[in-house]
Chains A and B, each alone.
Chain A
Amino acid sequence: MTTVRDPVHQGRLKTPFFPRVEQLDFLNEWHEWKGYSSPNALYCGDLEYFAIRNGTGVFDISPMTKYRITGPDAMEYLNRLVTRDMAKIKAGRVAYAVWCDDQGQVIDDGTIFHLREGEYRLCSQERHFAWLQAATIGFDVSIVHETERVAALAVQGPTSFSILNAMGIKGLDQLKPFGLMHVDFQGVEMMVSRTGFTADLGYELWIEPSKALDLWDALFKAGELYKIRAIGTHALELARIEAGYLAPYTEFLPADETVRTGRSRSPLELGLEWLVDFKKPNFNGRRALAEEKRRGSTWQLVKLDIAGNKPAHSSYIYAKEKGKKKEIGFITSAAWSPVCKQNIALGTVRAPHGKPGDELWVEVYYQREMHWNRTMAKAMVVDKPFWFPPRRGATPPGPY
């Protein structure tokens, strides 16, 4: 088990759950996630996806970047860092948030866990220590990178509540979406949050690495009757697109990694205006975003319901203008959604295109017996996530 990084370590790191994930792996398809090995799929990506929607999928999120933020100014610090109002996020709650540079361009999105009064954990896909550290200038706050100190599992799917309940976790029935609680697991404190990347009923479990394998074993034992499956990124990605969630480097480029002007995105352009609280007197990007709101945005993220059954990977998006189709943007994520029975996609179009209800066109290329085919498929801009079942929000959750 690798918990402390070997200073000359050259190869990929293994997460605290690696020995168990490896046992369940048949395909041997792995990729790198921030230095760690993470499975694409373990036995069959599609079946793993159905575990999320019909049973419970367990995904090892230990490589996720985690920072502990503490100190007298922690709340004020976060409030200046992110666009939403963190004063409203009480202890025991979790907030989805984006943070911008001074130009109002998104650096990344992530979740902020208000663990205890004045004590926070920020999680994101990318690493941001330099930026978070720069943001401490003028604040009494400390930032600790704790990715390696916390092992974490996403436990997602309709039976997830039943499994955790069967494991003996008390009080889970009262935990609302975006709530967190601390429970005892074999004498060690474990944090349970009702969060996830799948838009389904689901939880995330956070524990010290030394207890990781015990947690895995207890979880899979309790889940035996509830269709528990370890899953890889492929399944999660499909669930993510159905949920309409953003992925960095896919729906947006982190602003600090973007070289060309106009290639980064603002929260307004990503459909995240609900996360921007202009009532706060100062936060990173406020001036620029207020100006953007006044002038209008350049881009608009869209969720598309596309005709046909061919996923519109990397397609151009067109709009009809004066009877002619004009190219207005491109698809960033596309999939056939098994659970919605819909051809869905996320894309970027030039504003003011992309209002809910707009009828657009996507140019889909697909191959059949070596030959390429091209269709212009009608695409409807939709407002709501493709998949958002009532069970996700129900408290107490149903005993599936």
Chain B
Amino acid sequence: MDNKYDAIVVGAGHNGLVCSALLARAGKKVLVLEANEQVGGAAVTREFTEGYSVSACAHLLYQLQPEVRKDLKLVTRLASEDMTTIALSEDGKHLRLKAGSVEGVSENDAEQYRAFHKRMTRFSDLLRKFFNKPPPRLGTKNFKDLMTLGQLGLDLRMLGKEEMQEFLRLIGMNIHDEVTERFEHPLLKGAICLDAVLGTHLGPRSPNTILTYLYRLAGDHGRTSVPAGGMGSVSNELAHAARSAGVTIRTATPVKRIVISNGRATGVDTEAGEHFESLMVISNADPKTTVMKLIGAKHAETGFARRVSHLRAKGNAAKLHLALDGLPTIEGLSKKDYAERIIIAPTEHYVERAFNPAKYGESSPNPVIEITFPSFRDETLAPSGKHVMSAIVQYAPYDLKGAWTAAAKAEFLKVILSTLAKYMPDIEQHITASELLTPADIESEFHMSGGHWHHAELTLDQFLFVRPVNGAAQYRLPIEGVYLCGAGAHPGGGVSGAAGRNAARAILSREK
């Protein structure tokens, strides 16, 4: 069997698939090796109990870049799109947020929210432009880098003096201060705070949470949707695009190491003992796994290895899957509301207090939760008349004090269910099976260090020019022949495809 390739992609996460497809289209002979049985990485649909399936990690689509859709001609079928966010209130007076409008608040709050959303989407558009190109290097004379930098400066200036100042004021700030300056309604403040901190190890008062909020908006202005068949169908579509472009995809083939000989990558060894040759190895794995485990720190230089080992990548979001024999009752919701995105984040302080224990390695006694019922619009996921609930629960620190033992998980599940029960009194009666994935589980199932969605915390010191670390921000590692194409690379996590697409473009343009 021919085992020589132009490029080997380690990991068939959505970014790996996008990258491989684009490389194959440019005439490369590409092999993708995936450890799991299924392609998609954290964007997969799988059965969690007999008859019930769910998007096992990422569960909402809100960042898939139009450039990626266009390049690969994706026509993702959606079960729900442009979902309303319903911020639950115990008394049934919920808020409904959608594209800058909010129902259930004072006239003043509504007006403020409109203005806030307008400004934030404007800022996020500025960021989005940079999400679809490799970040420029600083201190170089490279024409492309200078152009990109110049463009960044120009775009900032084009905001106008006041807006530019506002952008510069906000970009390092925390979301809590901004929402308390603007809004009155606690539910509204809580809802915005939740969007800013979801998937991070940050609380609303942590600096940098405006950036994470903008990052979320930079996908599609915050519009969320659920693909028919779950997130796995996006990955399957990407895998199909890759295969049609000539990519060979091998699943259930974990890579043991990236082979470095004479200071450069020459191929990969699989756990099963197979060897594949390629002078280009592109890792969809997170930077820590790539450098520390697959390559081995001794093949890197000390400063670089130290920076990678110090990457902050400790997840704090758990994933809960419930099999339900019927929809739980939520006061104040109509039937069709179950198709929407439902959140539990009653106040900005609630979110911060949920984060507090996580700083000290404890899980939240009153967690914040993002809930969807994907089966409501998608019969393929659960038996007829039955339902699936998919929820992201924060905070559940990766390095929990005493570790995520079975007892600790059972205890946290109880906490989550009692939180849910405040809004859905009959939830427990409907549960026929459940699955809780802590960051530790997410790490082992999806092979991401620390179980962190973004592979590396999305903060200014690990962002743009320095993502994941100084010396590897342009997809190329300082080890000849090795590249990154996953969430740990610019721009970051979320099912966006941007990192994969940028990596492919950076690789191809380097060859020219």
Which residues of chain A have a CB within 8 Å of any CB of chain B? 73, 76-77, 80-81, 101-103, 131, 134-135, 137-139, 281-287
Residues in chain A near residue B309, CB distance under 8 A: 137
**Nearest-neighbor residue (CB-CB) of B470 within chain A:** A102
In the complex, identify which listed stretch (B295-303, B354-362, B485-493, B500-508) lies at the interface while the others stay far away: B295-303
Q: Knowing that A137-B297, A139-B298, A287-B301 are A-B contacts, what are 12 other residue pairs whose CB atoms are under 8 Å apart, sorted by A's residue number?
A: A101-B303, A131-B302, A134-B302, A137-B306, A138-B296, A138-B298, A138-B305, A139-B297, A281-B264, A282-B263, A282-B301, A284-B301
Residues in chain A near residue B300, CB distance under 8 A: 138, 282
CA distance A265 to B389 in the complex (A): 61
B141 → A minimal CB distance (Å) = 12
Residues in chain B near residue A135, CB distance under 8 A: 302
Which residues of chain B have a CB within 8 Å of any CB of chain A? 260-264, 292, 296-306, 309, 471, 478
B305 and A137 within 8 A (CB): yes
**Which of A80, A102, A281 has the most CB atoms of chain B within a 10 A radius of its CB?**
A102
Residues in chain B near residue A131, CB distance under 8 A: 302
Q: List 6 A-B contacts (CB under 8 A).
A: A102-B471, A134-B306, A137-B309, A281-B260, A281-B263, A285-B301
B506 → A minimal CB distance (Å) = 18
A281 and B303 within 8 A (CB): no
CA distance A135 to B306 in the complex (A): 8
Q: Which residue from B264, B298, B301 sits with its C-beta under 8 Å from A102?
A: B301
A129 → B minimal CB distance (Å) = 13
CA distance A134 to B298 in the complex (A): 11
B247 → A minimal CB distance (Å) = 31
Main secondary structure of the interface of A (DSSP, over half): loop
A141 → B minimal CB distance (Å) = 10
**Nearest-neighbor residue (CB-CB) of A138 within chain B:** B297
CA distance A350 to B397 in the complex (A): 54
Residues in chain A near residue B260, CB distance under 8 A: 281
CA distance A369 to B297 in the complex (A): 62
A138 and B478 within 8 A (CB): no
A80 and B263 within 8 A (CB): no
B305 → A minimal CB distance (Å) = 5
A102 and B303 within 8 A (CB): yes
**Which of B292, B302, B305, B471 has the most CB atoms of chain A within a 10 A radius of its CB?**
B302
**Nearest-neighbor residue (CB-CB) of B292 within chain A:** A138
CA distance A282 to B295 in the complex (A): 13
Residues in chain A near residue B296, CB distance under 8 A: 138
Q: Which residue from A76, A102, A139 sits with its C-beta under 8 Å from B304?
A: A102
Residues in chain B near residue A281, CB distance under 8 A: 260-264
A71 → B minimal CB distance (Å) = 13
A102 and B478 within 8 A (CB): yes
Q: Which 6 A-B pairs have the closest CB atoms?
A: A138-B297, A281-B263, A102-B303, A138-B298, A134-B306, A135-B302
CA distance A134 to B305 in the complex (A): 8
CA distance A80 to B493 in the complex (A): 33
CA distance A135 to B305 in the complex (A): 8
A102 and B263 within 8 A (CB): no
CA distance A218 to B292 in the complex (A): 52
Residues in chain B near residue A138, CB distance under 8 A: 292, 296-300, 305
**Nearest-neighbor residue (CB-CB) of B295 within chain A:** A138
A294 → B minimal CB distance (Å) = 15
CA distance A102 to B263 in the complex (A): 15
Known A-B contacts A102-B471, A137-B309; the reply to A282 vs B302 at CB < 8 A is no
B306 and A282 within 8 A (CB): no
A282 and B299 within 8 A (CB): yes
B302 and A102 within 8 A (CB): yes
**Nearest-neighbor residue (CB-CB) of B291 within chain A:** A138
**Nearest-neighbor residue (CB-CB) of B262 within chain A:** A281
**Nearest-neighbor residue (CB-CB) of A77 within chain B:** B298
A80 and B298 within 8 A (CB): yes
Q: Which residue from A73, A76, A81, A287 sits with its C-beta under 8 Å from B302?
A: A81
A76 and B303 within 8 A (CB): no
CA distance A80 to B296 in the complex (A): 13
Residues in chain B near residue A284, CB distance under 8 A: 301-303
Q: Which residue from B262, B298, B305, B478 sits with its C-beta under 8 Å from A76?
A: B298
Residues in chain B near residue A134, CB distance under 8 A: 302-303, 305-306
**Nearest-neighbor residue (CB-CB) of B479 within chain A:** A282
Residues in chain A near residue B301, CB distance under 8 A: 80, 102, 282-287
**Nearest-neighbor residue (CB-CB) of A280 within chain B:** B263
CA distance A371 to B263 in the complex (A): 60
**Nearest-neighbor residue (CB-CB) of B302 within chain A:** A135
**Which of B297, B309, B471 has the most CB atoms of chain A within a 10 A radius of its CB?**
B297
**Nearest-neighbor residue (CB-CB) of A101 within chain B:** B303
Residues in chain A near residue B304, CB distance under 8 A: 102
Residues in chain B near residue A103, CB distance under 8 A: 303
**Nearest-neighbor residue (CB-CB) of A255 within chain B:** B303
Residues in chain B near residue A285, CB distance under 8 A: 301
B283 → A minimal CB distance (Å) = 17
**Nearest-neighbor residue (CB-CB) of B478 within chain A:** A287
**Nearest-neighbor residue (CB-CB) of A261 within chain B:** B139
CA distance A283 to B300 in the complex (A): 8
Residues in chain A near residue B261, CB distance under 8 A: 281
B425 → A minimal CB distance (Å) = 52
CA distance A135 to B301 in the complex (A): 8
A245 → B minimal CB distance (Å) = 25
B20 → A minimal CB distance (Å) = 27
CA distance A284 to B306 in the complex (A): 12
B510 → A minimal CB distance (Å) = 16
B125 → A minimal CB distance (Å) = 34
Residues in chain B near residue A81, CB distance under 8 A: 302
Residues in chain B near residue A73, CB distance under 8 A: 298
Residues in chain B near residue A101, CB distance under 8 A: 302-303
**Which of A103, A137, A281, A286 has the most CB atoms of chain B within a 10 A radius of its CB?**
A137
**Which of B303, B306, B309 has the most CB atoms of chain A within a 10 A radius of its CB?**
B303
Q: Which residue from B263, B297, B298, B306 sits with its C-beta under 8 Å from A286?
A: B263
Residues in chain A near residue B478, CB distance under 8 A: 102, 287
CA distance A73 to B297 in the complex (A): 13
**Nearest-neighbor residue (CB-CB) of B480 within chain A:** A287
CA distance A73 to B305 in the complex (A): 17
CA distance A285 to B471 in the complex (A): 13
A367 → B minimal CB distance (Å) = 43
Residues in chain B near residue A80, CB distance under 8 A: 298, 301-302
CA distance A103 to B478 in the complex (A): 11
**Nearest-neighbor residue (CB-CB) of A256 within chain B:** B303
Residues in chain B near residue A283, CB distance under 8 A: 301
B288 → A minimal CB distance (Å) = 11
CA distance A139 to B299 in the complex (A): 10
CA distance A76 to B298 in the complex (A): 9
Residues in chain A near residue B299, CB distance under 8 A: 138, 282
CA distance A282 to B265 in the complex (A): 12
Residues in chain A near residue B298, CB distance under 8 A: 73, 76-77, 80, 138-139, 282
Residues in chain A near residue B305, CB distance under 8 A: 134, 137-138
Residues in chain B near residue A137, CB distance under 8 A: 292, 297, 302, 305-306, 309
**Nearest-neighbor residue (CB-CB) of A80 within chain B:** B298
CA distance A283 to B264 in the complex (A): 13
**Which of B296, B297, B301 has the most CB atoms of chain A within a 10 A radius of its CB?**
B301
B66 → A minimal CB distance (Å) = 37
A22 → B minimal CB distance (Å) = 41
CA distance A286 to B262 in the complex (A): 12
